[in-house]
Amino acid sequence: MDINNIIQTFGFPIACVIACGWFIYKMYTDSTNQNAEREEKNYEMLGKFQTSLDKFADVLSGYEQKLSVIEKDVKDIKDIVNK
Query: Has residue 5 been placed in a domain?
Result: no
The number of domains in the chain is: 1
- On whether the CB atoms of residues 15 and 6 are closer than 8 A, the answer is yes
- What is the CB neighbour count within 10 angstroms for residue 10? 13
Q: Which domain holds residue 31?
A: 10-82
Q: Which phi and psi angles does 2 have, rounded to 5°?
A: -80, 145
Residue 3 has pLDDT above 80, yes or no: no
**Model confidence, pTM:** 0.53
The residue with greater pLDDT, 30 or 1, is 30
Query: Has residue 3 been placed in a domain?
Result: no
| Mean pLDDT over the full length of the chain | 90
Cα separation, 6 vs 29, whole angstroms: 24
The rounded Cα 15 to chain-centroid distance in angstroms is 41
The pLDDT tens digits of the residues spanning 54-83 come to: 999 999 999 999 999 999 999 989 888 887
Query: Has residue 2 been placed in a domain?
Result: no
Residue 48 is which amino acid?
K
